[in-house]
A = this chain, B = another copy of it.
Amino acid sequence: MSKLRFSIAISLDGFVAGPDQSEENPLGIGGKKLHEWATPLKVFKEMHGRASEGGEVNASDDVLRERFAGVGASIMGRRMFGPGSGPWGEDPWRGWWGDEPPFHHPVVVLTHHEREPLELKETTFYFVTEGIEAALEQAREAAGGQDVAIAGGASVGRQYLAAGLLDEIDLSIVPVLLGGGEGLFTGIEANDLQLEQLRAVDAPGVIHVKYRVGHG
């Protein structure tokens, strides 16, 4: 069966976002440092329509390409898709990414408000209001046998983790301390979770570790 995967960058003290998160600064204080290893990469620029800029190729580049390979659909939270949380209104938000989103596969958005699917170039957004299990079911169907990735935010990944629905977690452990903020494992019962280390990759300024998630 297709796997549900979640990859996220985490500080050495266990935070996926810094203190004082807000709509203007969703990564919190210092949270940007979690992604500094990724933004200069060739694969990152390619995915965001800036292939002409070139970019760095190192061990992280390979890991990111592998993470995106074999993914047939993504799931994301409402705040990852756009600002606000109320009804969609008459001229609804079409995502942060313009008319060519970087996903190139169907994306299921978790929301409390119904909405027709939104078709953009190579990406259709589906809006699911019945919770994380329904969203997963729809994403699995859309993925056509390939894996499903959680595109974020962290709280969405944590909900799937807590519900025992996650199969693999990829952590990019960054050598910064944030001193507070959003903890990846906050509210997860430690005894309910078994993590099996599948592979670790030493890349410049970051370690990428893949764990299989078991539930006890």
- Give me the interface of A with B, judged by CB distance under 8 Å: 12-14, 30, 171, 173, 175-179, 183-185, 188-191, 193, 195-197, 199-202, 204-207, 209, 211
> What is the oligomeric copy number?
2
Residues of B within 8 A of A30 (CB): 190
Least Cβ–Cβ distance between A23 and chain B, in angstroms: 23
Query: Which listed residue (B171, B184, B196, B200) contacts A202, Cβ 8 A?
Result: B200
Residues of B within 8 A of A193 (CB): 177
Q: Specify the chain B residue showing the minimal Cβ separation from A183.
A: B13
Q: Is the CB of A12 within 8 A of B189?
A: no
Give A200 Cβ to nearest chain B Cβ, in Å.
Answer: 4
Enumerate 26 A-B pairs (CB-CB under 8 Å) in ascending A order.
A12-B195, A13-B14, A13-B184, A13-B185, A13-B190, A14-B14, A175-B195, A175-B196, A175-B197, A176-B195, A177-B185, A177-B188, A177-B193, A177-B195, A178-B190, A179-B185, A179-B188, A179-B191, A197-B204, A197-B207, A199-B202, A200-B200, A201-B202, A202-B202, A207-B207, A207-B209
Closest to A13 in B: B185
Partner of A207, one of B175, B185, B190, B200: B200
Q: Closest Cβ of chain B: how far from A174's Cβ, in Å?
A: 9
Quick one: given A207-B207, A209-B207, are A190 and B177 in contact (CB under 8 Å)? yes
Q: How far is the CA of A165 from the CA of B36 in the complex (A)?
A: 27
Q: Which 7 A-B pairs have the closest CB atoms?
A: A179-B190, A200-B202, A177-B190, A175-B195, A14-B14, A200-B207, A13-B185
Docked complex Cα distance between A211 and B13 (Å): 14
Q: How distant is the Cα of A178 from the Cα of B185 in the complex, in angstroms? A: 10
Q: Name A178's closest neighbour in chain B (CB-CB).
A: B190
Tell me if A211 and B179 are in contact (CB < 8 A): no
Nearest-neighbour CB distance to chain B for A58, whole angstroms, equals 13
Known: A13-B185, A179-B190, A190-B13. A206 touches B197 (CB 8 A): yes
B residues less than 8 Å from A14 (CB atoms):
12-14
